[in-house]
Amino acid sequence: MADTIVALATPTGRSSIGVVRLSGPESVAIGSRLTGGEILEPRRASLRAVCDPESGEEIDEAIVVWFKSPNSFTGEDVVEIACHGSPVVLRHVIDFCLRLDARLVEPGEFSLRALANGRMDLAEAEAIRDLIDAKTFASARQAVRQLRGEFSHELQPIKDKLLDVIVVLESALEFVEDDLPETQNTSIQTKLSAIRANIQRIASTFQAGKLIREGLRVALVGRPNVGKSSLFNALLGSDRAIVTEIAGTTRDQIHERLLVNDIPISLIDTAGMRETSDTVESIGVERSKRAMADADLVLVVLDLSEGITREDRAVLENVAQLEHLVVLNKTDKVSDEIIDALRSEFVQQGRSTAQVSAKTGDGLENLKSMMIDPFISENVSSNGFLVTEARHFDLLNRASSEIAHSIELLKQDRSEEIVLVGLHNALRFLGQITGETTTEDMLTRIFSTFCIGK
């Protein structure tokens, strides 16, 4: 039998209330013992004194609720004790539970039990984690849709159709002496192509899903003194980075988050790139190069008042193969003619440019929308369901390529047995999304990313 687990379900620290949650066969006995001995009534909130089970000393007053199995989050008996949010009291209450033979939970263990007891599937459990971790409303909205089972519903008809094909092939294997008749072979190919197209359609929403959930990494690079840190501060709207007229001010990377149209952006200010013999600075320059390579988008900052220098050209060369945007800074210092001349030079090279003044704030809004524009597809703005997990995306792709392989084998008139291998694999991959065909190891790995007490 499962043991009884206990955790603090609310954050640690002072708060108005703090909830201790028990789940498992002994939770009612433990909850009752802690709160005066009288057995709890299911689904009824009762105000009770919380007492030390040994000395009987009263340590708090709490609202206690018993969610009777199977109608609880985990499917087991769950008892929630809503104490006052004093860290000292809460620690004691958990301690008492441990003395009464409950065990502290592992991360995600409540959800794991819910999964084991059929209260939700794996994609739904992951959605709870994503909802809690969501940093924007858009990503919370996607998580709720997944939690409501939308993903599982989208997948079910696909799995059913795949299973239909598998059944036809399996029975051909059993009963037909010769190869599949030509017409049947073609119709199976058509069915499989439709299934595959459906899987790919769902997988194609991942770029948008990832954007909403994880956002973009944007790195500001350029030679020293062009105004990277000034621009960093201006975009954030706060004086986060040090700005001086001395070249080589920024020595190390600084990361900050900002939201542009509800898309989270991790903005990185870097050390100005130049040849240098200074040890600290040269480490900084190395790091800038790494930040550049890791970024989804690189903003190459130039100083309009100094034109394009040899160092600028070196930076521009470095980013040629990366997604980048040329930012012409310090518009307040030069005439429109100079700006236009430089702009057209870059346009000829096929590079996108934005012009700003970090000092006056001119052009900042335009720059912000230029930052996200290349990444926004129709999927982001449509109301459709989006795949947000890399794990799901990977499994969809694997299923799709297994099916593609099977279609190829059918075209070559290979035996059903061989065709079936890929189709069974595909079904297994799709099953791993919702957790029907997930191994113990995989579950442990997935649930270790959950927070304690969920």
Ligand X SMILES: Nc1nc2c(ncn2[C@@H]2O[C@H](COP(=O)(O)OP(=O)(O)OP(=O)(O)O)[C@@H](O)[C@H]2O)c(=O)[nH]1
Query: Can you give the binding site for Mg ion, defined by CB under 5 A?
Result: 228-229, 249-250
247 near ligand X, judged by CB under 6 A: yes
Give, in order, the Cα–Cα distances in Å from 179 to each of 102, 127, 411, 417. 61, 45, 12, 11
> What's the farthest any 2 CA atoms get from each other in the chain?
85
Task: Decide if residue 282 touches ligand X (CB under 6 A).
Answer: no
What residue type is assigned to position 24 of the chain? G
The listed partner (ligand X, Mg ion, none) that binds 318, CB under 5 to 8 Å by sort, is none
**Candidate residues 53, 85, 107, 248; the one interacting with ligand X per rule CB under 6 A:** 248
- Binding to ligand X (CB under 6 A) within 143-182 occurs at none
Cα–Cα distance, 315 to 224 (Å, whole number): 11
Residue 226: which of Mg ion, ligand X, none does it interact with, CB under 5 to 8 A by kind?
ligand X
Nearest CB to ligand X, comparing residues 235 and 386: 235
Residue 357 binds which entry of ligand X, Mg ion, none, CB below 5-8 Å type-dependent: ligand X
- In the complex, the smallest distance separating the C-beta of residue 329 from ligand X, rounded to whole angstroms, is 5
Beta pairing, strands 58-67 & 46-51: antiparallel
Q: How far is the CB of 273 from ligand X (least distance, A)?
A: 8
Closest alpha carbon to 84 in 76, 75, 93: 93
Q: Listing from the earlier edge strand, what are the strands of the sheet with 103-104?
A: 46-51, 58-67, 78-85, 15-23, 5-8, 103-104
Instruction: Name which position in 38, 174, 177, 245 contacts ligand X (CB under 6 A).
Output: 245
Q: What is the CA radius of gyration of the chain?
A: 29
Nearest-approach distance from CB 219 to ligand X, in angstroms: 13
Tokens at 393, concatenated: 């995306």
Site string for ligand X, 335-374 (x = CB under 6 A): ----------------------xxx---------------
3-state DSSP of 202-222: HHCCHHHHHHHHHCEEEEEEC
**Cβ atoms within 10 A of the Cβ of 413, count?**
11
- What does the chain come to in residues? 454
Nearer residue to ligand X within complex by CB, 208 or 367: 367
With binding defined as CB under 6 A, does residue 250 bind ligand X?
A: yes
- Counting Cβ atoms within 10 Å, is residue 446 exposed (0-12), middle (13-18) or buried (19+)? buried
* Partner whose footprint covers residue 432, from ligand X, Mg ion, none (CB < 5 to 8 Å by kind): none
Residue 249 near ligand X by CB under 6 A: yes
Query: How far from 293 is each of 5, 265, 325, CA to CA, in Å?
Result: 45, 16, 14
- Which of residues 227 and 264 has its CB atom nearest to ligand X in the complex? 227
3-state secondary structure of 356: coil
The entry of Mg ion, ligand X, none near residue 406 (CB within 5 to 8 angstroms by kind) is none
Q: 219 or 271, CB closer to ligand X?
A: 271
Q: Is 288 in the site for ligand X (CB under 6 A)?
A: no
Number of residues that bind ligand X (CB under 6 A): 24
Pairing of strands 263-269, 216-221: parallel
What's the closest the beta carbon of residue 324 comes to Mg ion, in angstroms? 18
Name, in order, each residue with C-beta under 8 angstroms of 68's C-beta and a sequence gap of 6 or more.
42, 43, 77
Q: Which residues, numbered 215-244, are part of the site for ligand X (CB under 6 A)? A: 222, 224-230, 243-244
- Bridge-based pairing of strands 324-329 and 353-355 is parallel
Nearer Cβ to Mg ion (81/358): 358
Q: Check binding of 329 to ligand X (CB under 6 A).
A: yes
Rounded least distance, CB 228 to Mg ion, Å: 5
What residue 400 binds from Mg ion, ligand X, none (CB within 5 to 8 A, per partner kind)?
Answer: none
Contact 155, 198 (CB under 8 A): no
**Interface with ligand X, residue 287, by CB under 6 A:** no
DSSP state at residue 273: P
Record the tokens describing residue 186, joined without a space.
Answer: 């073609």
Tell me which of Mg ion, ligand X, none is bound by residue 359, counting a contact when its beta carbon lies within the kind-specific cut-off of 5 to 8 angstroms.
ligand X
Q: Please, which residue, 99 or 290, has the CB nearer to ligand X? A: 290
E strand or H helix at 442, and its extent? helix 440-447
Which CB, 250 or 355, lies closer to Mg ion? 250
**Binding footprint of ligand X on the chain (CB under 6 A):** 222, 224-230, 243-245, 247-250, 271-272, 329-330, 332-333, 357-359
